[in-house]
Amino acid sequence: MRLWLLANLTGCLLSAAANAQSSATSFPAKPVTIVVPASPGGVTDALGRMLAQRFTEAWGQQVIVENRPGANNQIAAEYVTKAAPDGYTLFIAALPVMAIVPAINKVRYDARKSFAPISNIATNAFVLVVNKDLPATTLHEFVDYVGARKGQLAYGSAGIGSLNHLSMALFLKQAGLEMTHVPYKGNAPALSDVVAGHIPAMFSNFSDALPQANAGNVRMLALSSEKRSPLARQVPTVAESGFPKFNVLTWNGLMAPADTPRPVVDRIAAEIAEAVKDPKFSARLSEFGVDPLGNSPAEYGAMLAADIATWTEAVEAAGVKQQ
């Protein structure tokens, strides 16, 4: 009896493995939907459409983009968690909905358990910028300048709980500094006030800050990423400027509902890895101010876990209370 049960169990496992492999081999056998948690336009939507075109050409099967904006990307995230775990419904996930929103709001999904990470498509750094007249040309000089004016200076952000708000809060905690937070309705108006001198500093999206810096309107002191940007190699990172634990990036990655067969996940990830190696695809990403990545499902999962810990700490440092 035991031998029969063992043989039956083994047969079931082999059959399940064969079915999973078969589904990957035949995937996709029907149209695939990429759910974008934003309205048409913008980086996240553009990435979704770039992937849809790439997949359609590679697979010979239609891949469509479905925009589901709202509730800080939660509407799209919740929708994908309820989809069949077969690879035919995918999700362009931005870092906030995975690592920040759950730390601030009660959500109906678990960032680590409700999704199957496929690949982190591209990343985008932030950069500490100051008004051109501020007497600080390095991060060290900025720390000294702010430290000598405890609580007297302000910094801008795209809003309470935004990535650049939390980035600055995290940096100030690590540097032992105090500044007053001034939230704006978006990165652009905050950066405009740094240019005008109404506020002295902020962590800005690198893609927004670069043209202002090139025009001499602001000074870029340090990048939030682990490595320097090829678009501004003269700008050091925060980590190399005396704060080795500081490594902050935003990103857009592709995810599927949890329990999607691993062979299907691996096949999609392999296609993304090939895409970011394509000079034309990579160049288009650079036009949006993002750095191509295309890592593996395991690497993306590890990155997500680390980011959840980092941004949970940042939320606490910023004093943003859970709602």
What is the per-residue DSSP string for 8-77?
A: HHHHHHHHHHHHHHHHHHH--SS-EEEEESS-SSSHHHHHHHHHHHHHHHHHSS-EEEEE---GGGHHHH
Q: In this model, does residue 180 exceed pLDDT 80?
A: yes
Per-residue pLDDT tens over the stretch 30-53: 999 999 998 888 888 999 999 999
Per-residue pLDDT tens over the stretch 121-150: 999 899 999 999 999 999 999 999 999 999
Asked if 145 and 177 count as a contact pair (C-beta separation under 8 A), the reply is no
Quick one: which of 45, 89, 32 has its CA closest to 257? Answer: 89
Q: In this model, does residue 18 exceed pLDDT 50?
A: no
pTM above 0.85, yes or no: no
Using left for φ > 0, alpha for ψ between -120 and 50, and beta otherwise, residue 102 falls in: alpha
pLDDT confidence of residue 53: 97
Rounded (5°) CA angle 293-294-298: 115
pLDDT confidence of residue 126: 94
Share of the chain above pLDDT 70, in %: 92
pLDDT confidence of residue 41: 83
Asked if 130 and 136 count as a contact pair (C-beta separation under 8 A), the reply is yes
Number of C-beta neighbours around residue 281 at 10 A = 18
319 phi/psi in degrees, rounded to 5: 70, 25
pLDDT confidence of residue 306: 93
CA 263 – CA 20 distance, rounded (Å): 7
Q: How confident is the model at residue 2 (pLDDT cuts 50, 70, 90)?
A: low
